[in-house]
C-alpha cells in the first residue's frame, strides 16, 4: 500500500519527468523495432511505418500507463475543478447567492453545535469523569446537612472519594483594592475527589477547617487558608508564584494563600477561589452539596445501594428524624447540564432545520441552473463523456460550492460565538469552554460535504440523464427540463415552507411567552433606580448592633445629599440573587399553630426603601426612621400575605412572629402592594418587612449582606455619592454589582429573552430563505412557460387569467407547505413546554398568526412573477422559440 | 504467422514476470524475450506491454532503472523484486494446476464418467 502511494505520489509530483520518461521509453521501443526490421531487410520508411503499426495506438497506451499509476484520477479531478471554477465565475451572482446561503446555514449550525459541544458533549475537565456523581438528599430540599455528610464520609465503602462544597461570594483584598469574587467553600477532600491538584502549593490541611456550633455557615468566619484560581491569581497578583505563603484578606480576615489552581479549573459554578468549608454539626440547616467519586467499576446503582446501606446502619444505631433518609445519585455532568441540555438540544434541532432549508434552496438554484444546461451536457456526452463522468463533474461543482460555503460558515460561526459569549444566559454551564476547536471545524467540514452531496446529487442525477436528441434540437432546452424537474423543485419549496412554519411557530410561542413575562406588573417601578451591594465582614462588624449602626449612619448621610431623591436598604433585592433570601413560616398571634401555606419572604428594610422602589402603600403607614430598637416592634406586610392570613379582616394591629425581630411579636402597621420577589413567573408574593433597626442582635448575618436602592435623576451621580459616603465610613468595603434596577429585572428574564431571540433569529433566516426559494421557483417556472402564456394570450386569455395561472401554482405550494408545517409544529412544540410562561404549546393565536403572516408575504413573492407574466407580448413569446 | 494464438486474458502479466525473471530487460527486450521463449507462438500487442509493465511496477513486483542498451542508448530496465519472484512462483503453480485440470477434463471419455 505504502509503495503504491509512493509510486502514485512520485508520478504525481514529478509529473513532467514521468511524462518525459514515458515518451522516451515508448520511442525507444519503436525505434529499436524499426532498426530490427531494417536489419531483416525491410526498407527504412516501410520499417518505421510497420513498427508504429505493430505498436498500436500509442496515445491509448500512454493513457493506460498513466492509469496504471492512478494518474487519470488526478487529471480528471483537475479538469473538474478547473471547469467548476470557470462555471462558477461565469455565473458569479448565482455562486455568491449559493455560497452565502450555505455560509449562513453552516455557520449558524456550527455555532450552535459549538455551544452544545462545550456544554454537553465535552467531558468534564477531570480525570475519569464518569465516576463522579452528585449525592443529594431525596427530599424536597436537596442540600445535605453536615452530620449526614460526615456519616457518609465515615461509612461509604463504594466511594473512592467524597467531598462537600457550597459557594458564595467574598470580598478579597490584597494585591489590589477590595473585590467580590465567587468563593467555593470545600472540604479538604474536594480536590482529591475531583482528581485535580494545585498548580502551585498545596490543598487544605485538616487543621485548617473551621468548626462552628451554630449550624449557620458565616461568610466571614475565621478563614485560615485560601487557594486561588488561575484567573484571579493573574488578575490580582500578576501571576506571581511568591503569593503562596503570603497573607491576604478574605472578608477582612487575614488568610494564608496555600495554593494556586491550574488554568480552567472553576468548579463549583465559576468559583475563583476556595476556602475550607465549615461543616455544621447540627441538622437544623443544610447548605452543602456533595460530590462523590465512585470506586473503579462501581455503577450508579451499586453506589446508590452503598449509600442506602450507610444510612440504614446509622439510623438503626442512632435514630434521628431529621437525618437524610434517601439520597439521589446523579452523574456530575448531567447535574451540571440539567435543563439547559434540553434547550440546547432544541436549538440544535432548530438550526438543523435552517440548514436543511438552506440546502433545499441551493438545490433549487442548482436545478434551475442545470435546467439551462442540457445542451452543454448533451454536447459533452456526444464528445465522449460518460454518465459517471458527468455526475462527477456536477458533484465536484456542488462540493466546491459547499466547501466555499463551509469556509464562510466557520468565519460566521466564530462571529456568532462572540455574540453568544456576551448573551448566553448564566445558566449555560462551562460557557468559558466555548471556542472553535478542531472538533468544531471537523463538524463544519462534515456538514459542508454532507450538504454538498445532499443538494448536489439530485441535480447531478437529473441533469446527467439528458435526452440527447431532444436537448440538441433548438429550443429543446426548455422542454427537456420538463414536468419532472418542476415537480422536484415544487416539492423542495413545500419542504422549505413547512420547516419555516415549524420554526416560526416555535419562535412565536417563545416571543409571546417572553412578552407576557416582561409585561407582568412588578409591584415596583424599576426606572430611575440604581442598586449597589455591600457586605459587612464579621471581623469588623462583630455584633448586630455595630452592623445596624453602620447602616443607619450611611442612610442618614445619603439622605442629606441633594443628588439622591430617596435612599433605602433591603436585605433581599427583588428579582436578584443578592442579599440573604429567607422564606419560612410565620406565627400569627391568636392562632394555635403555624398557619399552613403562609410562607412569607422575610425581609428587612431601612431608610426610604418603599419610596425609592415606589412600592405603593395600600393601608396604614410605611416604616420610618422613628421605628428604632427602642420603639415598639412593627412590620409591614404584603397584600397577598394579609389576604392569606386575615381574609376579609383588617390586618392593621395584628401581631406576627418571624423569628428575626428583637422582640418576639411585631405589630402590623401597614400593607404594601405585592412585589415580584423571586422571579417574574411568581404568582403570589407574601412578604413580611421588618425595619432593620429592629432585627435581633443574634441575627447579624441576616443584615450583613445588603443592597442599597437609590432613586435619583442621574444614576452615575447617585452611585458616586454612595461610594463617597461609604468610603468615608469604611475604606475597606467593596461596593459591588452596581446595576440599574431595570437591568436587574431584565436579568431575571434573560433566559426566556435569549431563547426567544435565538428562535426568532433562526426562524427569520428560515422565513427569508423559504420565501426566496418560493419566489425563485415561481418566477422561474413562469419564465419557462413564456411560450405557453404567449399562446394563451394569443388565444384571448385575459391578464387576470394569466396572473391567476402563475399565482395558483405558487399558492398551491405555499398552502401545502403551510399545512404540513402546522402539523409538524403541532407535533413538535410540546418540546418547548417547559420554556413557556402562560402560553400553551398549541397557542391558537400563534398557530393562526404565523400562517397568515407567511401567506401574506408569500402572496407578494408570487405576485411579482405573476404580474411580470401578464406583460408577456404574445408575438415576442412565440418568436422566442 | 497464421498459427499464432491470442493471449488469454491475464496471462500477459505472468509472461512478463517470467521473461524478466531470466534477467533484467528493457521493454523492447521483454517483447523479444517473450517471442523467443514462446518460439513466436503467442501474439503480443506491443503497446499493451507498457501499461502492464507500469502496473506491475506500481504493484511492487518489478523494479525499474535507467541504463544503457546494447546499441548505446538510454533505456529503462526492469528487474524482478522479491515480491515479484514470489508472485511468479504462485502464478506458475496455479497456472500448472489449471492446465492440468483442464487437460484432464478435456481428455475425459464417456466410459470414465
CA proximity to A534, closest of A297, A661, A296, A707: A707
CA A762, CA A502: separation in Å to the nearest integer? 11
Interchain CB contact of B59 with A (< 8 Å): yes
Q: Is there a domain that residue A93 lies in?
A: no
What average pLDDT does range B57-67 have in this prediction? 87
Q: Is there a domain that residue A79 lies in?
A: no
- Whether A135 contacts A291, CB under 8 Å: yes
- Whether B58 contacts B80, CB under 8 Å: no
Distance to chain B for A39, nearest Cα, Å: 13
Question: What is the structure's pLDDT at A428?
Answer: 59
Question: In sequence order, what are the residues at sequence separation of 6 or more whose Cβ sits closer than 8 angstroms to the Cβ of residue A855?
Answer: A814, A818
Domain check: are A306 and A358 in the same one? no
Q: What is the SS3 assignment for B70?
A: coil
Q: Which of A207-216, A502-511, A620-629 has the lowest mean pLDDT?
A: A207-216
Q: Locate cell 504467422: which residue?
A: B1
Domain check: are A503 and A569 in the same one? no
Cell of A126: 477531570
Interchain CB contact of B81 with A (< 8 Å): no
Question: What is the structure's pLDDT at A779?
Answer: 83
What number of helices (H) and strands (E) belong to chain B? 4, 5
Question: In sequence order, what are the residues at sequence separation of 6 or more whose Cβ sits closer than 8 angstroms to the Cβ of residue A693?
Answer: A548, A552, A606, A627, A628, A629
What average pLDDT does range A619-624 have in this prediction? 92
Q: Do A29 and B28 touch (CB under 8 A)?
A: yes
Q: Is there a domain that residue A114 lies in?
A: no
Question: What is the structure's pLDDT at B1?
Answer: 41
Q: Is the pLDDT of residue A141 over 60?
A: yes
- Conformation bin of residue A26: beta by default, left when phi > 0, alpha when psi is -120 to 50: alpha
For A34-94, the DSSP string reads HHHHHHTT--HHHHHHHHHHHH--HHHHHHHHHHHTTHHHHHHHHHHHHHHHHHHHHTHHH
What's the residue count for chain A? 881
Considering chain A, what is the average pLDDT of its residues? 83
Q: Locate cell 437609590: which residue?
A: A710
Interchain CB contact of B33 with A (< 8 Å): no
The CATH number for B5-108, chosen from 3.30.9.10, 3.90.550.10, 3.40.50.300, 1.10.10.10, is: 1.10.10.10
Question: Which DSSP state fits A678?
Answer: S
Question: What is the structure's pLDDT at A45?
Answer: 87
Q: Give the CA count within 13 Å in the CB-facing half-sphere of A708.
A: 34
Question: What is the structure's pLDDT at A535?
Answer: 86
Question: Which DSSP state fits B29?
Answer: H
Domain count across chain A: 4
Question: What is the structure's pLDDT at A260?
Answer: 93
Judging contacts by C-beta atoms under 8 Å, the chain A residues touching residue B34 are: none
Domain check: are A235 and A350 in the same one? no
Q: Best residue in A2, A68, A70, A72 to probe B by mutation, most B CBs within 10 Å?
A: A68
Cell of A537: 465582614
Judging contacts by C-beta atoms under 8 Å, the chain A residues touching residue B54 are: 64-65, 68-69
- The percentage of chain A sitting over the pLDDT mark of 90, rounded to a whole number, equals 20
Question: What is the structure's pLDDT at A477?
Answer: 46
Distance to chain A for B13, nearest Cα, Å: 13
A216 confidence band (pLDDT: 50, 70, 90) = very low
Question: What is the structure's pLDDT at A385?
Answer: 67
Residue A130 or A876, more confident? A130
Q: Is the pLDDT of residue A431 over 70?
A: no
Q: Best residue in B4, B25, B28 to probe A by mutation, most A CBs within 10 Å?
A: B28
Interchain CB contact of B65 with A (< 8 Å): no
Question: In sequence order, what are the residues at sequence separation of 6 or more whose Cβ sits closer than 8 angstroms to the Cβ of residue A852?
Answer: none
Neighbours of A332 (CB within 10 A): 20
Judging contacts by C-beta atoms under 8 Å, the chain B residues touching residue A3 are: 60
Cell of A549: 449602626
A175 confidence band (pLDDT: 50, 70, 90) = low
Domain check: are A350 and A279 in the same one? no
Name the pTM for this structure.
0.68
CA A654, CA A641: separation in Å to the nearest integer? 12
Q: Give the CA count within 13 Å in the CB-facing half-sphere of B29.
A: 21
Q: Do B47 and A3 touch (CB under 8 A)?
A: no
For A209-271, the DSSP string reads ----SSS---TTS---EEEE-HHHHHHHHTT-GGGTT-EEEETTEEEEEEEEPPTT---STT-
Q: Do B51 and A65 touch (CB under 8 A)?
A: yes
Q: Do A32 and B46 touch (CB under 8 A)?
A: no
Q: Is the pLDDT of residue B113 over 50?
A: no
Q: Do B57 and A29 touch (CB under 8 A)?
A: no
H-helix or E-strand spanning residue B107: helix B82-107
Domain closes at, from A706, A732, A758: A732
Domain check: are A816 and A786 in the same one? yes
H-helix or E-strand spanning residue B68: strand B62-68
Measure CB to CB from residue B76 to each of A21, A33, A58 and give the nearest one: A21
What average pLDDT does range B33-54 have in this prediction? 85
For A151-182, the DSSP string reads HHHHH-SSEEEEEEEEEEEEEEEESEEEEEEE
Q: Is there a domain that residue A58 lies in?
A: yes
The alpha carbon of A861 is separated from its chain's Cα centroid by a whole number of angstroms, namely 34
Maximum mean pLDDT: which of A429-433, A475-479, A750-754, B103-107? B103-107
Q: Do A65 and B71 touch (CB under 8 A)?
A: no
Q: Is there a domain that residue A581 lies in?
A: yes
Helices marked H in A560-677 — which ranges? 609-613, 639-645
A217 confidence band (pLDDT: 50, 70, 90) = very low
Residue A121 or A521, more confident? A521
Domain check: are A402 and A430 in the same one? yes
Measure CB to CB from residue B54 to each of A32, A55, A68 and give the nearest one: A68
Domain check: are A320 and A343 in the same one? no
Question: In sequence order, what are the residues at sequence separation of 6 or more whose Cβ sits closer than 8 angstroms to the Cβ of residue A57?
Answer: B47
B2 confidence band (pLDDT: 50, 70, 90) = very low
Q: Do B71 and A32 touch (CB under 8 A)?
A: yes
Q: Is the pLDDT of residue B104 over 50?
A: yes
Distance to chain A for B89, nearest Cα, Å: 21
Q: Which of A106-110, A136-140, A558-562, B97-101 has the lowest mean pLDDT?
A: A136-140
- Whether A759 contacts A503, CB under 8 Å: yes
Question: What is the structure's pLDDT at A595?
Answer: 54
Q: Is the pLDDT of residue A218 over 70?
A: no
- Whether A37 contacts A50, CB under 8 Å: yes
Q: Is there a domain that residue A851 lies in?
A: yes
Q: Which of A388-392, A399-403, A514-518, A805-809 has the lowest mean pLDDT?
A: A388-392
Measure CB to CB from residue A64 to each of B27, B51, B69 and give the nearest one: B51
Question: What is the structure's pLDDT at A880?
Answer: 56
Q: Best residue in B31, B33, B51, B52 to probe A by mutation, most A CBs within 10 Å?
A: B51
Q: What does the pLDDT look like over A15-52, one tens digit per residue?
A: 788 888 888 888 888 888 898 889 888 888 888 898 88
Domain closes at, from A39, A54, A69: A69
A658 confidence band (pLDDT: 50, 70, 90) = confident
Cell of A853: 403572516
ipTM at complex level: 0.87
Residues A559, A560, A564, CA angle at the centre, nearest 5°? 60
Domain check: are A728 and A762 in the same one? no
Q: What is the SS3 assignment for A593?
A: coil
What average pLDDT does range A62-91 have in this prediction? 75
Measure CB to CB from residue A58 to each of B47, B59, B60 and give the nearest one: B47
A430 confidence band (pLDDT: 50, 70, 90) = low
Q: Give the CA count within 13 Å in the CB-facing half-sphere of A21.
A: 20
Residue A756 or A77, more confident? A756
Q: Is A167 exposed, middle or buried (0-12, 13-18, 19+ CB in 10 A)?
A: buried
Q: What does the pLDDT look like over A287-335, one tens digit per residue?
A: 788 999 988 888 888 989 988 888 888 888 888 877 888 888 888 877 7
CA A520, CA A527: separation in Å to the nearest integer? 15
Question: What is the structure's pLDDT at A219?
Answer: 44
What average pLDDT does range A573-595 have in this prediction? 76
Cell of A804: 391567476
- Whether B76 contacts B66, CB under 8 Å: yes
Residue A287 or A798, more confident? A798
Measure CB to CB from residue A56 to each of B46, B74, B75 and give the nearest one: B46
Q: Do B69 and A56 touch (CB under 8 A)?
A: no
Q: Do A56 and B47 touch (CB under 8 A)?
A: yes
A582 confidence band (pLDDT: 50, 70, 90) = confident
- Whether A168 contacts A271, CB under 8 Å: no
Question: What is the structure's pLDDT at A585?
Answer: 73
Q: Which of A534-543, A721-730, B11-20 has the lowest mean pLDDT?
A: A534-543
Q: Do B58 and A69 touch (CB under 8 A)?
A: yes
Interface of A with B (CB under 8 A): 3-4, 7-8, 21-22, 24-26, 28-29, 32-33, 35, 54-58, 60-61, 64-65, 67-70
A708 confidence band (pLDDT: 50, 70, 90) = very high
Domain check: are A609 and A650 in the same one? yes
Domain check: are A636 and A684 in the same one? yes
CA A626, CA A370: separation in Å to the nearest integer? 86
Measure CB to CB from residue A68 to each of B31, B51, B75 and give the nearest one: B51
Strands A132-137 and A327-331: antiparallel
CA A504, CA A513: separation in Å to the nearest integer? 14
For A267-281, the DSSP string reads -STT--EEEE----S
Strands A225-228 and A253-260: parallel
Q: Best residue in A9, A17, A18, A28 to probe B by mutation, most B CBs within 10 Å?
A: A28
- Whether A530 contacts A715, CB under 8 Å: yes
- Whether A102 contacts A405, CB under 8 Å: yes
Nearest CA in chain A to B27: A29
Measure CB to CB from residue A28 to each of B28, B48, B54 and give the nearest one: B28
Cell of A92: 458569479
Domain check: are A154 and A301 in the same one? yes
Interchain CB contact of B50 with A (< 8 Å): yes
Q: Do A28 and B27 touch (CB under 8 A)?
A: yes
Domain check: are A285 and A166 in the same one? yes
The alpha carbon of A364 is separated from its chain's Cα centroid by a whole number of angstroms, namely 31
Interchain CB contact of B107 with A (< 8 Å): no
Q: Is there a domain that residue A431 lies in?
A: yes
What average pLDDT does range A100-125 have in this prediction? 79
Q: Do B58 and A7 touch (CB under 8 A)?
A: yes
Q: Is the pLDDT of residue A115 over 80?
A: no
Tell me which residue range forms the domain holding A812.
Answer: 339-519+750-879
Question: What is the structure's pLDDT at A123?
Answer: 66
Question: What is the structure's pLDDT at A432?
Answer: 58
CA A47, CA A34: separation in Å to the nearest integer? 5
Judging contacts by C-beta atoms under 8 Å, the chain B residues touching residue A9 are: none
CA A544, CA A547: separation in Å to the nearest integer? 5
Interchain CB contact of B73 with A (< 8 Å): yes
Q: Do B55 and A68 touch (CB under 8 A)?
A: yes
Measure CB to CB from residue A3 to each of B28, B49, B60 and give the nearest one: B60
Neighbours of A843 (CB within 10 A): 18
Neighbours of B96 (CB within 10 A): 10
- Whether A378 contacts A472, CB under 8 Å: yes
A492 confidence band (pLDDT: 50, 70, 90) = confident
A576-585: burial string, b at 16+ Cβ within 10 Å, e else:
bebbbbbeeb
- Residue extents of the structural domains in chain B: 5-108
Q: Do A24 and B74 touch (CB under 8 A)?
A: yes
For A183-220, the DSSP string reads EEEE-TTHHHHHT---SEE----GGG----SSS---TT
Maximum mean pLDDT: which of A253-267, A621-635, A860-874, B28-42? A621-635
A853 confidence band (pLDDT: 50, 70, 90) = very high
Strand partners, B6: B43
Domain closes at, from A18, A34, A69: A69
Judging contacts by C-beta atoms under 8 Å, the chain A residues touching residue B46 are: 29, 33, 54-56
Q: Is the pLDDT of residue A426 over 70?
A: no
Distance to chain A for B4, nearest Cα, Å: 15
Q: What does the pLDDT look like over A453-472, one tens digit per residue?
A: 877 777 777 766 666 666 55
Amino acid at each position: 500500500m505504502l509503495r503504491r502511494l509512493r509510486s502514485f505520489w512520485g508520478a504525481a509530483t514529478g509529473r513532467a519527468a514521468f511524462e518525459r520518461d514515458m515518451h522516451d521509453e515508448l520511442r525507444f521501443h519503436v525505434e529499436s523495432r524499426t532498426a530490427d526490421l531494417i536489419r531483416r531487410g525491410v526498407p527504412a520508411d516501410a520499417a518505421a511505418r510497420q513498427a508504429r503499426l505493430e505498436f498500436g495506438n500509442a496515445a491509448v497506451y500512454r493513457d493506460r500507463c498513466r492509469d496504471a499509476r492512478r494518474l487519470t484520477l488526478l487529471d480528471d479531478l483537475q479538469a473538474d475543478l478547473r471547469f467548476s471554477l470557470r462555471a462558477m465565475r461565469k455565473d458569479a451572482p448565482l455562486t455568491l447567492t449559493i455560497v452565502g446561503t450555505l455560509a449562513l446555514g453552516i455557520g449558524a449550525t456550527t455555532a450552535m453545535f459549538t455551544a452544545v459541544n462545550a456544554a454537553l458533549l465535552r467531558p468534564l475537565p477531570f480525570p475519569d469523569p464518569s465516576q463522579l456523581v452528585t449525592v443529594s438528599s431525596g427530599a424536597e430540599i436537596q442540600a445535605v446537612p453536615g452530620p449526614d455528610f460526615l456519616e457518609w464520609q465515615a461509612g461509604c465503602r463504594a466511594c473512592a472519594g467524597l467531598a462537600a462544597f457550597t459557594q458564595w461570594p467574598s470580598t478579597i483584598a490584597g494585591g489590589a483594592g477590595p473585590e467580590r469574587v465567587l468563593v467555593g467553600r470545600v472540604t479538604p477532600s474536594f480536590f482529591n475527589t475531583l482528581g485535580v491538584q494545585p498548580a502551585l502549593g498545596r490543598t487544605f490541611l485538616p487543621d485548617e477547617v473551621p468548626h462552628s456550633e451554630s449550624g449557620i455557615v458565616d461568610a466571614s468566619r475565621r478563614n485560615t487558608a485560601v487557594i486561588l484560581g488561575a484567573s484571579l491569581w493573574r488578575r490580582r497578583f500578576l501571576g506571581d508564584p511568591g503569593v503562596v505563603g503570603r497573607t491576604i484578606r478574605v472578608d477582612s480576615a487575614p488568610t494564608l494563600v496555600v495554593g494556586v489552581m491550574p488554568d480552567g479549573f472553576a468548579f463549583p459554578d465559576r468559583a475563583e477561589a476556595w476556602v475550607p468549608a465549615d461543616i455544621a454539626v447540627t441538622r437544623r440547616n443544610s447548605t452543602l452539596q456533595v460530590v462523590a467519586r465512585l470506586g473503579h467499576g462501581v455503577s450508579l446503582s451499586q453506589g446508590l445501594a452503598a449509600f442506602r446501606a450507610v444510612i440504614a446502619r446509622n439510623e438503626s444505631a442512632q435514630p434521628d428524624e431529621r437525618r437524610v433518609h434517601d439520597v439521589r445519585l446523579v452523574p456530575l455532568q448531567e447535574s451540571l447540564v440539567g435543563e439547559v441540555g434540553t434547550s440546547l438540544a432544541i436549538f440544535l434541532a432548530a438550526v438543523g432545520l435552517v440548514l436543511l432549508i438552506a440546502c433545499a434552496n441551493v438545490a433549487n438554484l442548482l436545478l434551475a441552473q442545470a435546467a439551462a444546461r442540457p445542451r452543454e451536457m448533451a454536447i459533452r456526452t456526444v464528445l465522449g463523456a460518460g454518465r459517471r463522468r458527468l455526475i462527477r463533474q456536477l458533484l465536484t461543482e456542488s462540493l466546491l460550492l459547499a466547501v466555499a460555503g463551509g469556509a464562510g460558515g466557520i468565519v460566521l460561526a466564530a462571529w456568532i460565538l462572540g455574540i453568544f459569549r456576551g448573551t448566553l444566559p448564566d445558566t449555560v454551564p462551562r460557557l468559558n469552554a466555548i471556542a472553535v476547536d478542531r472538533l468544531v471545524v471537523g463538524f463544519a467540514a462534515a456538514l459542508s460535504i454532507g450538504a454538498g452531496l445532499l443538494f448536489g446529487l439530485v441535480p447531478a442525477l437529473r441533469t446527467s440523464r439528458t435526452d440527447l436528441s431532444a436537448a440538441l434540437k433548438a429550443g429543446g432546452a426548455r422542454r427537456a427540463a420538463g414536468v419532472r424537474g418542476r415537480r422536484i423543485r415544487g416539492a423542495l419549496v413545500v419542504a422549505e415552507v413547512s420547516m419555516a412554519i415549524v420554526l416560526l411557530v416555535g419562535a412565536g410561542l417563545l416571543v409571546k411567552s417572553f412578552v407576557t413575562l416582561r409585561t407582568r406588573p412588578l409591584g415596583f417601578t424599576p426606572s430611575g433606580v440604581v442598586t449597589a451591594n455591600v457586605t459587612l465582614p464579621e471581623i469588623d462588624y462583630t455584633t448586630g448592633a455595630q452592623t445596624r449602626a453602620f447602616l443607619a449612619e450611611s442612610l442618614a448621610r445619603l439622605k442629606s445629599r441633594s443628588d439622591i431623591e430617596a435612599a433605602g436598604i433591603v436585605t433581599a433585592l427583588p428579582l436578584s440573587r443578592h442579599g440573604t433570601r429567607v422564606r419560612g413560616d410565620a406565627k400569627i398571634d391568636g392562632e394555635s399553630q403555624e398557619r399552613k401555606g403562609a410562607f412569607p419572604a422575610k425581609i428587612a428594610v431601612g431608610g426610604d426603601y418603599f419610596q425609592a422602589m415606589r412600592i405603593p402603600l395600600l393601608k396604614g403607614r410605611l416604616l420610618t426612621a422613628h421605628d428604632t430598637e427602642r420603639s415598639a416592634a412593627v412590620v409591614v406586610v404584603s397584600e397577598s400575605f394579609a389576604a392569606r392570613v386575615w381574609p376579609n379582616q383588617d390586618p392593621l394591629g395584628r401581631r406576627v412572629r418571624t423569628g428575626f425581630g428583637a422582640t418576639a411579636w411585631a405589630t402590623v402597621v401597614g400593607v404594601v402592594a405585592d412585589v415580584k420577589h423571586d422571579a417574574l413567573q411568581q404568582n403570589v408574593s407574601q412578604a413580611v418587612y421588618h425595619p432593620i433597626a429592629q432585627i435581633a442582635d443574634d441575627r447579624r448575618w441576616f443584615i450583613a449582606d445588603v443592597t442599597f436602592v437609590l432613586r435619583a435623576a442621574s444614576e452615575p451621580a447617585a452611585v458616586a455619592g454612595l461610594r463617597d459616603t461609604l468610603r468615608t465610613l469604611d475604606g475597606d468595603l467593596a461596593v459591588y454589582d452596581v446595576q440599574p434596577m431595570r437591568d436587574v429585572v431584565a436579568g431575571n428574564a434573560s433566559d426566556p429573552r435569549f431563547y426567544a431571540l435565538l428562535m426568532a433569529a433562526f426562524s427569520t433566516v428560515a422565513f427569508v430563505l423559504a420565501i426566496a426559494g418560493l419566489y425563485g421557483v415561481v418566477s422561474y417556472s413562469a419564465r419557462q412557460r413564456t411560450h405557453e402564456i404567449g399562446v394563451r394570450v394569443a388565444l384571448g386569455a385575459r391578464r387576470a387569467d394569466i396572473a391567476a395561472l402563475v399565482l395558483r401554482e405558487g399558492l398551491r405550494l405555499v398552502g401545502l407547505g403551510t399545512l404540513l408545517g402546522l402539523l409538524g409544529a403541532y407535533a413538535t412544540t410540546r418540546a418547548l413546554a417547559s420554556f413557556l410562561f402562560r402560553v400553551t404549546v398549541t397557542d391558537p393565536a400563534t398557530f393562526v398568526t404565523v400562517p397568515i403572516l407567511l401567506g401574506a408575504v408569500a402572496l407578494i413573492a408570487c405576485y411579482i412573477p405573476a404580474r411580470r407574466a401578464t406583460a408577456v407580448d404574445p408575438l415576442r413569446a412565440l418568436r422566442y422559440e | 504467422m497464421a498459427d499464432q494464438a491470442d493471449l488469454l486474458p491475464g496471462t500477459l502479466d505472468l509472461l512478463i514476470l517470467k521473461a524478466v525473471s531470466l534477467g533484467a530487460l528493457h521493454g523492447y527486450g521483454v517483447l523479444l524475450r517473450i517471442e523467443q521463449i514462446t518460439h513466436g507462438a503467442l501474439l503480443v500487442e506491443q503497446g499493451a506491454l507498457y501499461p502492464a509493465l507500469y502496473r506491475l511496477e506500481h504493484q511492487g513486483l518489478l523494479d525499474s532503472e535507467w541504463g544503457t542498451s546494447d546499441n548505446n542508448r538510454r533505456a529503462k530496465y526492469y528487474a524482478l523484486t522479491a515480491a515479484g519472484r514470489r508472485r511468479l512462483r504462485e502464478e506458475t503453480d496455479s497456472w500448472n494446476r489449471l492446465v492440468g485440470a483442464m487437460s484432464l477434463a478435456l481428455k475425459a471419455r464417456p466410459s470414465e464418467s
